[in-house]
Amino acid sequence: MEYGLKQYIFVIRELTSREIKRKYSRSVLGILWSVLQPLLFMFVMTAVFSGFTLNDISYPVYYLTGYTTWSMFSIATTTAMTAYEDNKLLFQKTKLPREVFVLSRDYTSLVNLGFSSIALLLVLIFFKVQIKWTVVVFFIDVIFELIFTIGISFLLATIYVFYKDIKFIWQNIIVMLVHMIAIFYPIERYPDSVREFTAHNPLFIYPDIARKSIINGTCEVDQLMAMFMWAIGALLIGLIIFKLAENSIIKKI
């Protein structure tokens, strides 16, 4: 059976719905946690880092804008890693396009980002941040970060089938990365020795574009080009590696 675009989207939506229901099945507040969690983290981080000078930008606005985009990447890649193993029966015995298992995990994180953006909107309103036309760049930024995330997700999900230790390695890498991409405090506070590396880190570029487009009302062409190139490059690498290993994955799981 050949899947058309409509069937493809339908399957991803159904798998996403299942993921969301499973995630919040035992929660009283349900998906509302996607709004409350970033706010709770914001209060904690504000208490710890609010002393930093941010050029008249309120720390909660700075933090939450970056955290919203970062959380989509970290949650998506962590959950997508086990997508094949968690759906092994469907992966082996159905004619579903096998890419949908990873895509559904990434799409679930995009949905969560949508709810987290409600928290961000509330904070922007509370601190009276003037929204300019560059907010359009924020949405473009999210799309390309999603593409980048999908590529990394395919790569990690493929590796996980053969090397389970990647799950624990990645969990530690995620912890290190969040401290290296100016989520908690501005890049100007970084030592000179690591500032240049951070500035070219794709995981810094996406949150930084989000902050500049929403808070400062600006965007930089070189960052937009980097945003595009990192996204397309990661997607191509992830898909190529998955396609090369697809038959081996079927046998392994």
- Range name among 53-57, 65-69, 205-209, 246-250 with the lowest pLDDT average: 53-57
C-alpha distance across the termini of the chain, in Å: 23
- What is the total residue count of the chain? 253
**Alpha carbon of 140 to those of 58, 146, 212, 224, 228: distances in Å?**
24, 10, 13, 9, 10
**Alpha carbon of 120 to those of 39, 46, 69, 132, 227: distances in Å?**
8, 14, 11, 15, 22
pLDDT tens for residues 85-99?
A: 887 777 766 677 788
pLDDT tens for residues 152-204?
A: 999 999 999 999 999 999 999 998 888 888 888 888 888 887 888 888 899 99
Helical residues (DSSP H) of 24-134, grouped into ranges: 33-49, 59-80, 83-86, 88-93, 100-126
pTM for this entry: 0.88
d(CA 246, CA 154): 11
Query: Could you tell me which residues come within 8 angstroms of residue 198 by beta carbon, excluding any fewer than 6 positions away?
Result: 180, 181, 182, 187, 190, 204
Query: Could you tell me which residues come within 8 angstroms of residue 149 by beta carbon, excluding any fewer than 6 positions away?
Result: 72, 73, 76, 77, 106, 109
In the predicted model, what is the mean pLDDT of residues 95-123?
Answer: 86
